[in-house]
Chains A and B, each alone.
Chain A
Amino acid sequence: MGSYLATEEQVSTWLHLLAKERDLFWPRSVGQFNYSFLPLGERDEICFDRYLPTIVPPGRRLLPDDETLFTSQQGDDRLSHYLPPQPSAPMVLAGVRPCDLKGITQLDTVMAAAPADPYYHQRRVNTVIIAMNCLAPCDSRCFCSAVGALGAQDGADVFLTLLAEGVLVESLSARGDEILVKASFSLCEDGKERRLVAEGTRPLPFGRELAVVPEALPEMLRKGYESPVYHRYGERCYSCGTCNLVCPTCYCFEVRDEMSLDGFSGRRSRTWDSCMIPAFAEVAGPHNFRAEVGERQRHRLKRKFEYLPERFGLGSFCVGCGRCGRQCTANIDILNMVNDIAVEVGGGS
């Protein structure tokens, strides 16, 4: 699991080589300001410059929208036979930022919790991740450092850092070694030291800050359960669910069945869902356990900072990517919301 030093051109050539064997996704600029993880085509250029987080996080490739859970077919015996979907093809997610990487390892844990999700698992073991270090905050929304996502390397097979002298390529797993066989980079004995020097140039604070340490959040949020802050933000929320759809650690889904016109075959799929949508917690009755928009904001926020961290023990499930605030029409920013609660509950500094 060695380290190498390469030029951007060499890395680019290597990624294009990999992309010939399997789908390789790299953040490509789309429109004026946005980025999207798209398959790397033969002629596509790779931009190593600082790029904003993509609108949709890369982890969603592991839990794709409208994924088939099974297809069904009525046989001659008049019974419905349920068939699993075709296994997905191997892929490479490349250019994954530490925040998104941490998001993926958190999805890994959620999906592996018994009973494990077989389709996620199948995709994940077939996915190679080439991560890309961050040496400066991507924009004014970022707060990855505050929630402990900045240093994330876990889950990556190869880790890239842009140094003044070139691209540092670190292999972090046997799979990383495997895909690096094709590269002709020069070995770099002191890779880790060079990375640490580069990381030492990061500005401090790195991005925005939390008013309390992340470990104190669950207790603070329990105390502030009835906080008016949720409702204050809720007042301008459209309950559109965008904040959930762009979040690297949101994974809730809705299940849907469709029947073909022949009446004999069908398909069940799962589609991305959102706890901000009013009907999410409705039951027969009808009764809605989170009918108020403020209650839904509270649920979304507590899942990130209290419920999931306590259930899975992995620290904050918000990885500080800033996407929800960036994409929200109403400018509802989860960090601002947490910090307002901290001030109100008195847990803030």
Chain B
Amino acid sequence: MSKDAFVDAGLYLPQTGRIVAIEQCTVNEKFFRLELTRPLQHRPGQFVMVTVPGMGECAISITCGPREDNILEMVIRRVGNITAVLHGLEVGDTLGIRGPYGAGFDLEEFYQRDVLIVAGGLGLVPLRSLLLPMIAAHQRFGAITIITGARSPAETLFRHELADWREKENVRIIELVDSTDHYQWDGEVGMVTAPIGSLVLDKNRTMVVLCGPPVMYKFVLLELEAHHQIPATQIFVDLERRMRCGVGKCGHCQINQAYCCQDGPVFRYSDIQNYPEGLA
């Protein structure tokens, strides 16, 4: 084994992040803003490993766009022990952070292109890291269409931001819920697949990004194929796996040939469409 290869002795050591803001987004989701000791320097679509001291570590998507300061933003759903503890934390408490990890998006690839974003459930959380820089420089892109889906109005995320983004002349937003569930709702009702057929998309210049629950991908891809035939090289999917190390060593997130933590979690669809475990 080569002795001079670069080895980061601190690979498994978290840096400390202090919580500077918390917001309850929905019953199960909280927004956290952390101040780190150094800039994260991440790309859209990357993730961090979050340590709750003494409890454990889990992979969490970064929800802020790339930034120069030491800020990290995440939206965390309460699903297990670690996230339950996270939900109990207060401003001033600290967490351990490793990363950023993952391949992420290359924003420049989207310049001058039309963009279709389909975000189901928590899909908007990681995709916000792509959308924020995109909206900030919206003149550099063609038409940006964002379709969001939630089970009910109570589970929608980032609605204020979506309302702001909608003001840009080249941004169109379609918000859907499966059912209004007796809440007031000014968006549409239905599945995220519903509007796809009637969109006008130029298959040569449209980039598509999908993020949502596993079942969503298959149906959205079928709709896209049926109506728009956008090449698989222009479609990105953001996949979830159970990562332990985040750096391609522990083996947990392997999807056939690919490592979700290093090759993903954002994959070009053409790279994984032949992987039977990819969208299974």
Contacts and interface: CB of A to CB of B under 8 A. Distances in A.
18 contacts: A80-B94, A82-B96, A115-B8, A115-B248, A116-B5, A116-B7, A118-B11, A118-B12, A121-B5, A252-B250, A253-B251, A254-B250, A257-B51, A258-B54, A259-B55, A273-B250, A283-B242, A284-B80
Contacts of B53: 72, 74, 80, 259, 266
Interface string A289-314: 11000000001001100110011000
Given A115-B11, A116-B6, A283 B256 contact: no
Nearest to B257: A307
Contacts of A72: 53-54
A255 interface: yes
Interface in B221-246: 240-242, 244-245
A115 B13 contact: no
Interface in A240-289: 251-259, 263, 266, 268, 270, 273, 275, 280-285, 287, 289
Nearest to B101: A115
B250 A124 contact: no
A112 B244 contact: no
Interface in A70-112: 70, 72, 74, 78-80, 82-84, 105, 108, 110-112
A310 B7 CA distance: 24
Contacts of A251: 249, 251
Contact of B57 (A257, A280, A282): A257
Contact of A283 (B6, B55, B240): B240
A310 B250 contact: no
Nearest to B240: A283
A91 to B, nearest CB: 15
What's the dominant secondary structure at chain A's contact region? mixed
B2 interface: yes
Interface of B: 1-3, 5-14, 16, 51, 53-57, 79-80, 94, 96, 213-214, 240-242, 244-245, 247-252, 254-257, 276-277, 280
A51 interface: no
Given A116-B8, A118-B9, A268 B57 contact: yes
A330 B272 CA distance: 34
Contact of A259 (B13, B54, B80, B280): B54
Given A79-B94, A117-B11, A282 B242 contact: yes
Contacts of A256: 56
Interface centre among A84, A125, A266, A268 (most CB of B within 10 A): A268
A225 interface: yes
Contact of B1 (A125, A225, A281, A287): A125
A112 B16 CA distance: 26
Given A118-B7, A281-B242, A70 B277 contact: no
A115 B247 contact: yes
Given A115-B11, A307-B254, A255 B1 contact: no
A84 B9 contact: yes
B251 A255 contact: no
A69 interface: yes
A305 to B, nearest CB: 12
Given A124-B1, A268-B12, A311-B257, A253 B57 contact: no
Interface centre among B1, B10, B55 (most CB of A within 10 A): B1
Nearest to A127: B1
A315 to B, nearest CB: 16
Interface centre among B214, B250, B251, B256 (most CB of A within 10 A): B251
A175 B224 CA distance: 60
